[in-house]
Amino acid sequence: MTTFEQAPIFQCEFEDDRTGLSKETIKRALADNLFYIQGKYPGTATLNDYYMALAYTVRDRMLQRWFKTTEAYTKKGVKVVSYLSAEFLLGPHLSNNLINLGIYDLVRQTVEETGLDFVQLREIEEEPGLGNGGLGRLAACYMDSLSTLEIPAIGYGIRYEFGIFDQEIRDGWQVEITDKWLHLGNPWEIPRLEETIEVKFGGRTEGYYDEKCRYRVRWIPDKVVKGVPYDTPILGYRVNTANTLRLWKAEAPESFEFKAFNDGNYYGAVNKKVVSENITKVLYPNDDLVQGKELRLEQQYFFVSCSLQDMIRLHLQKGETIETFHQSFAVQLNDTHPSIGVAELMRLLVDEYQLEWDQAWQITQNTFGYTNHTLLPEALEKWPLKLFSNLLPRHLQIIYEINQRFLGQVRAKYPDDSDRLARLSLIDESGEKYVRMAHLASVGSHAINGVAALHTELLKQDVLRDFYEFWPEKFTNKTNGVTPRRWIVVSNPLLANLITRKIGTDWISHLEDLKQLEAFVEDAEFRHEWRQTKQDIKTYLANYIKDNHGIEVNPASLFDVQVKRLHEYKRQHLNVLHIITLYKRLKDNPNLEITPRTFIFGGKAAPGYFIAKLIIKLINSVGDVINNDPDMRDRLKVVFLPDYNVRFGQRVYPAADLSEQISTAGKEASGTGNMKFAMNGALTIGTLDGANIEIREEVGAENFFLFGLTTEQVYDLKSRGYNPWDYYNSNPQLKEVIDLISSGFFSHGDTNLFRPLVDSLLYHDPYLLFADYQSYIDCQDQVNQAYRDQEHWTKMSILNAARMGKFSSDRAIKEYCQEIWNAVPVKIELAEYIQARA
Ligand code: PLP
Ligand code: NBG
């Protein structure tokens, strides 16, 4: 027998008994983690301690995969997709990881055998809310698909200490509460202190001649900040790939300045540290709006510089030379937030690695792809020149150089077109000067894409028209998608089970297989099960609402749901106009037969967006009146559920009968909530906007409730001169509804409360609610009729889910891989004896 002293030191590989998946090893790991990591034993452990022990137990089972994945990517010739995004709205990790590992039931049973309540532990997890909405959630779905498809990938972003605020509703108003998601620790991440990177800010530049007498520029910054990477494994579904999400935290280079400290200036000494660390303190809580704050540009540059330096380091570690950088990394810019990367990569290549400009430019253009996510002018980022040059003086010079060369090309193609030059320039000189970030991204990328077919067309015709005329070949469409793992399997296990009983499990990674469900549409038994499943999920939600918000809702009523960020273009207030219309009808005619409905809302408003906050107040005020009016009985209910986030989405999408996707045509780039609803068997009432159009094409026009003006009609009406008064004066029903709000009926007689909202509609109505009102009401009446025929409704519901294959993020990621990134799968192999255990 070998003794301890005789044991060969490196014989033990990384695998140990904790990688086993038997109940016994899981129980042992739970106990060990509780004791050795949390430092607790069952007598003193809190619920959170148990959750942490469970999370570590699950993470341990991912580490081997993670380690093997990282190792495989260090090989020469492997191209890695680098997804640069200021937001990743991940949602809770635990359930998703259990599903992807294939051990959800096993772990749940094991946990329960130890006497713990699995659901309670699952629900205690704080979700990382590191994003505002659709854009950040898309990044999270794409990370899931990249791993599931075994594509080498790394997500780069910011580790905000405070993510999107928590929302409370007090007296009907939104109140913002700081999101302290890290306060009890984050078991899913591992800091990699040894891979810290330095980022420079401010200062000045100076020219010099290098040893070959070439003119060069160097940047002398006045501040340096450290970027510390925190890594989270992102596991694919039932594969061994675990890609990395690397989020950067800002730290001061030294804890504090000893000189100032010794001189007695204690506050001065720590101040620098505080200022540096502010960079990653908080997520800007704006969706589809930019604020132009210096700290925001600092955040963007900080994470982009850390990430590009990190990529270059990884590339050189493979033994490659800098000239082949673009063969190692395909970098995608998730909107313009990381677009400063174009100038930063040029700076790194030219100033730090001493490449010639033309070669550096070729590498840069080959590296980047740019995804645009918005058509709203207020969301297109531009930075005042002064602010930009103070923070990034070298980058401004580089941008000028890029611009001069680019405009030279434009001039060659369009010799006497100074208007075009001004429109295309990276610098907006029409008034105060700005750097236009969408232009920088477009010039510096080899591919530009929109996120739904209509959106891409509108980019070509409007927002990026001049770029399209100049480089038509750069433009492609990549319609968004969402991951069925989180948005069906994790969030709707009842439906997932029903589907699986009929068609097996392949649909989970090949969503187009849901088509097979069409064969059962005429099967009355199946329809019954489908309807019953929806009913059960609605009952869960109804109980949840009752327990947590004290509102009784009727699970047999039609659940009409609008959950998304509050924004005028998304038109939650159009939905309210419909609710008031129904209310009026019932008041005027108490015995009217109507389809009972529960209107469910959720969503956060940007803290500075007054009208959006007033819309929340209006929803709650209308709800108060309706929910307390005995005439409404069980027929109408209005609930605004606070703090809409990923976890909440998982609860509510599956329970919806009707999905409200009612934005003004031409305003919603794509939408992804629309996809989550339809996959879970909700029918959509929607305009021809964003991905609604493609959803309707897939599910069939007869299974979709369409209303409203088209984008063309919207443009046309606006160009003819839109006057909301015309609609108000000619539509008595609309007039009644608006007058009721104005009269103070929903505001205890206060006629001023909703005046800003009503006036905005009467005098401007920029999102054409009045123009679409009647068409919306008529369409809602059709919904009522349709819902009465439950058999037919169920058929439509099944067909919606069955035809949603296109909207898997797996399909979207395959398109990006083939048409933009040129990336291919790499199979990750585990050690044989681990595979045998798994
Ligand atoms: N916020 C959360 C938490 C989500 O899950 C989603 C879904 O995609 C969104 C926002 C975006 O919703 P929508 O596409 O309806 O704007
Ligand atoms: C949002 C769009 C949505 C779209 C998501 C994801 C921004 C800037 N844009 O329509 O408004 O679904 O991006 O592409 O958040």
* Secondary structure (H, E, C), 520-568: HCCCHHHHHHHHHHHHHHHHHHHHHHHHHHCCCCCCCCEEEEEECCCCH
- Report yes or no: 687 and 707 within 8 Å, Cβ to Cβ: yes
Token digits of residue 569: 């273009």
Our answer on whether the CB atom of 137 is closer than 6 Å to any ligand 1 atom is yes
Helices and strands (H and E) in the chain: how many:
34, 25
pLDDT at 22 over 90: no
For residue 374, how far is its CA from the centre of ligand 2 (angstroms)? 6
Q: What is the pLDDT of residues 410-456, one digit of tens each?
A: 999 999 999 999 999 999 999 999 999 999 999 999 999 999 999 99
pLDDT at 312 over 70: yes
User: CA 27, 32, 37, 43: dihedral to nearest 10 degrees?
Assistant: 80
For residue 666, how far is its CA from the centre of ligand 2 (angstroms)? 13
More confident residue, 351 or 10: 351
Q: What is the pLDDT of residues 757-811, one digit of tens each?
A: 999 999 999 999 999 999 999 999 999 999 999 999 999 999 999 999 999 999 9
For residue 644, how far is its CA from the centre of ligand 1 (angstroms)? 9
Our answer on whether the CB atom of 133 is closer than 6 Å to any ligand 1 atom is yes
CA distance 271 to 277: 10
pLDDT at 255 over 70: no
Provide CB contacts within 8 A for 401, sequence distance 6+.
357
- Report yes or no: 476 and 435 within 8 Å, Cβ to Cβ: no
Our answer on whether the CB atom of 642 is closer than 6 Å to any ligand 1 atom is no
**Per-residue pLDDT at 15:** 46
Does 672 qualify as catalytic in the annotation? yes
Our answer on whether the CB atom of 379 is closer than 6 Å to any ligand 2 atom is yes
CA distance 452 to 686: 15
Question: Where do we find the tokens 């033994």?
Answer: 319
pTM: 0.96
For residue 563, how far is its CA from the centre of ligand 2 (angstroms)? 14
Token digits of residue 450: 């929109």
For residue 137, how far is its CA from the centre of ligand 1 (angstroms)? 7
C-alpha closest to that of 191 among 229, 247, 226, 157:
229
What's the whole-number mean pLDDT along residues 38-67? 95
Does 534 qualify as catalytic in the annotation? no
For residue 537, how far is its CA from the centre of ligand 1 (angstroms)? 20
Pocket residue to mutate for ligand 1, from 562, 565, 570, 641, most atoms within 8 A of Cβ: 565
Q: Is 214 helix (H, G, I), strand (E, B) or coil?
A: coil
**Per-residue pLDDT at 14:** 45
**Per-residue pLDDT at 10:** 45
pLDDT at 269 over 90: no
Alpha carbon nearest to ligand 2 atom 13, residue: 135
- The percent of residues above 70 in pLDDT, for the chain, comes to 95
pLDDT at 17 over 50: no
Atom of ligand 1 nearest to the CA of 653: 5
pLDDT at 115 over 80: yes
Q: What is the pLDDT of residues 186-211, one digit of tens each?
A: 999 999 999 999 999 999 999 999 99
pLDDT at 279 over 60: yes
Does 570 qualify as catalytic in the annotation? yes
Q: Are strands 329-334 and 80-84 parallel, antiparallel or unpaired?
A: parallel
Our answer on whether the CB atom of 758 is closer than 6 Å to any ligand 2 atom is no
Q: What is the pLDDT of residues 610-639, one digit of tens each?
A: 999 999 999 999 999 999 999 998 899 999
- Report yes or no: 710 and 688 within 8 Å, Cβ to Cβ: yes
C-alpha closest to that of 694 among 509, 510, 455, 468:
455
Q: Kindly indicate the confidence band of residue 275, based on its pLDDT and cuts at 50, 70 and 90.
A: confident
C-alpha closest to that of 454 among 723, 688, 168:
688
- Beta-bridged to residue 217, according to DSSP, are 207
Question: Nearest bound ligand to CA 89?
Answer: 1
**Per-residue pLDDT at 835:** 56
Pocket residue to mutate for ligand 1, from 488, 563, 643, 647, most atoms within 8 A of Cβ: 563
Pick the catalytic residue: 61, 347, 597, 676? 676
Question: Where do we find the tokens 């109940």?
Answer: 23
CA 232-100-60 angle, to 5 degrees, is 50
What count of residues does the chain have?
Answer: 838
**Per-residue pLDDT at 270:** 72
b/e map of 86-102 (b: 16 or more CB within 10 Å)?
Answer: bbbbbbbbbbbbbbbbe
Own/partner pairs, 250-259, CB within 8 angstroms, 24+ separation: 250/225, 250/226, 250/276, 250/277, 250/278, 250/279, 250/280, 250/302, 251/196, 251/225, 251/226, 251/227, 251/276, 251/277, 252/225, 252/226, 252/276, 252/277, 253/198, 253/224, 253/225, 253/226
CA distance 630 to 595: 17
Q: What is the pLDDT of residues 465-523, one digit of tens each?
A: 999 999 999 999 999 999 999 999 999 999 999 999 999 999 999 999 999 999 999 99
Q: What is the pLDDT of residues 714-757, one digit of tens each?
A: 999 999 999 999 999 999 999 999 999 999 999 999 999 999 99
Pick the catalytic residue: 373, 474, 597, 617? 373
What's the whole-number mean pLDDT along residues 377-405? 96
CA distance 792 to 814: 35
**Per-residue pLDDT at 258:** 59
DSSP state of 128: -
Q: How many CB atoms lie within 10 A of CB 482?
A: 29
Question: Nearest bound ligand to CA 374?
Answer: 2
Question: Nearest bound ligand to CA 454?
Answer: 2
- Report yes or no: 393 and 435 within 8 Å, Cβ to Cβ: no
Positive or negative: CA dihedral 98, 102, 104, 107 = negative
Does 79 qualify as catalytic in the annotation? no
Q: Kindly indicate the confidence band of residue 256, based on its pLDDT and cuts at 50, 70 and 90.
A: low
Question: Nearest bound ligand to CA 290?
Answer: 2
Alpha helices in 459-492 (DSSP H): 465-470, 484
Complex ipTM:
0.99
What's the whole-number mean pLDDT along residues 345-360? 98
Our answer on whether the CB atom of 652 is closer than 6 Å to any ligand 2 atom is no
CA 243-244-247 angle, to 5 degrees, is 160
pLDDT at 262 over 80: no
Q: How many CB atoms lie within 10 A of CB 104?
A: 19
Alpha carbon nearest to ligand 2 atom 3, residue: 671
**Per-residue pLDDT at 3:** 57
**Per-residue pLDDT at 9:** 47
Please, what is the average pLDDT of the chain? 95
* Secondary structure (H, E, C), 32-86: HHHHHHCCCCCCCCCHHHHHHHHHHHHHHHHHHHHHHHHHHHCCCCCCEEEEECC
